[in-house]
């Protein structure tokens, strides 16, 4: 099983923002850190904003930040809301299924149980748990510490 790039990028954006201590971040910075197309990330971030995981601030000094505390962002929820296709095999789609074993094969049931178990594990993990060592992540992504104004 392979998750979509869309979900992968969604998790990466959330991790970056969680390590940024609530400061506004420009999408370009995230794009540079992960070596991902800025155009792709714009679409991902816009979707994360619509889902309520990210907050966007417009304007010259605008950017994006998490809309919730990392401990309140559940990976299972993010996955279900960003993964475009949870159909592991053609038999998951009754409209396009051409398998002659439909109705007598138990492969679909096995895949459904496996997918459910996968998502149940994600349901037990928060974004905060992914960034237990934010300094190491910041260093690996070459995130520049923004000095706080006094």
DSSP collapsed to 3 states, 108-119: HHHHHHHHHHHH
pLDDT digits (tens, 9 = 90+) for 103-142: 788 888 888 899 999 999 999 999 999 999 888 888 898 8
Closest C-alpha among 133, 1, 136 to residue 79: 1
pLDDT at 150: 39
Q: Is the pLDDT of residue 60 over 90?
A: no
Higher pLDDT, 38 or 59: 38
Report, as an integer, the average pLDDT of 8-21: 94
DSSP code per residue over 22-71: T--B-HHHHHHHHT--HHHHHHHHHHHHHHTSEEEE-STT-EEEESS-GG
- Least trusted range by pLDDT, from 5-9, 70-74, 129-133, 142-146: 142-146
């Amino acid at each position: 099983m392979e998750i979509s790039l869309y979900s992968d990028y969604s998790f990466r954006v959330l991790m970056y923002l969680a390590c940024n201590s609530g400061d506004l971040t420009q999408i370009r910075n995230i794009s540079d850190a992960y070596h991902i197309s800025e155009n792709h990330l714009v679409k991902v971030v816009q979707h994360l904003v619509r889902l309520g995981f990210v907050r966007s601030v417009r304007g010259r000094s605008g950017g994006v930040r998490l809309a919730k505390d990392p401990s309140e962002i559940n990976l299972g929820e993010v996955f279900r809301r960003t993964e475009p296709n949870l159909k592991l095999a053609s038999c998951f789609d009754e409209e396009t299924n051409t398998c002659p074993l439909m109705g007598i094969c138990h492969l679909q049931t096995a895949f459904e149980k496996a997918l459910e178990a996968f998502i149940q594990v994600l349901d037990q993990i928060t974004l905060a748990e992914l960034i237990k060592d934010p300094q190491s992540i910041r260093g690996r992504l070459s995130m520049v510490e923004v000095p706080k104004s006094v």
